[in-house]
Homo-oligomer: A and B are copies of this chain.
Amino acid sequence: MLDKSTVIGFTLGFSLIFLAIITQGSVLVFASFAAILIVGGGIIAATMINYSFENIKTSFAAILSMIGAKDVDLRTDMELLSMFARRVRSDGVLVLDSDIQHIEDPYLKNGLQLLVDGFKKESLDSILRDEIKSRERQIDTSINVMYSMADYAPAFGMIGTVIGMVLMLQNISDPESLGAGLSVALITTLYGTILANMFFGPLAGKLEYLSELDLNRKEMFRTGINSILEGENPRIMEKKMLIHVDPKSRAEYIKYHEGIRISKERDERFYKLWIEQQNKEWDDLKRVLETG
């Protein structure tokens, strides 16, 4: 499912600019192949020098994958980890061995694998921690690539405009051609500013925002895995994991769990559901779990 607000944002933004243009004049005035070439090409060229073409691709791939990612409700993850914790408390850590293959998220999968493999608390936690750091470093590069493009965009817009102005001022014959020349010269500035503020800038921001959510989820997994390893009481584990959940969902989760009793049957039902069909919405999950 595509990230709706990104799509709506792009549609709204470009429609408005388009509207602003056609109500006052012709779109043709603003369509300039030369301007596209100098602004678009300049941004790509500078970014290639700054990073590498590989990085630009990775950056856009990161945005596409994040925008297209299924929406994850942390509460579903919490239910899952709680169930795992209860399973481990009753049957030992090796019971997870067969479950791991059903897990989609590579971070959680790897973490539980290490748990089953019998890693000690300290090694395990330092590996989990470093993996988050490493992931952060990699996504940070993609974010920086995007922000660099947002910085280069108005600069190449200005370069195009200065080139246009130098040429125009060189051969002034009549003041009217001067206006038209300046008009053309300003188009690259317009392109640069729009690209920076409607494309690269907001996308870099989105990538940064989504990566924070992603790292937060990983932190929650780390909390849970550590709790399972230490055999902590599932209630305390939940308290600790809830800190990573946003306030509204947290309140709902707490209220819901105050109302129900975790029975062995419920856990079995949940386990079967989970094996069959992953990543159910939490609201569906709740309904199915209670009604049986």
- Listed in ascending order, the chain A residues whose CB lies under 8 Å from chain B are 3-6, 8-10, 12-13, 16-17, 19-21, 23-25, 29-30, 34, 37-38, 41-42, 44-55, 114, 119, 123, 126-127, 130-131, 133-135, 137-138, 141, 148, 152, 155-156, 158-160, 162-172, 175-176, 178-180, 182-183, 186-187, 189-190, 193-194, 196-198, 201-203, 205-206, 209, 212, 216, 236, 239-240, 243-244, 246-247
Contacts and interface: CB of A to CB of B under 8 A. Distances in A.
A237 to B, nearest CB: 11
Contacts of A41: 12-13, 16
Contacts of A16: 37-38, 41-42, 45
Given A167-B25, A198-B46, A246-B138, A190 B159 contact: yes
A6 B48 contact: yes
Given A29-B166, A162-B189, A193-B155, A48 B17 contact: no
A229 to B, nearest CB: 16
Contacts of A148: 205
A235 to B, nearest CB: 9
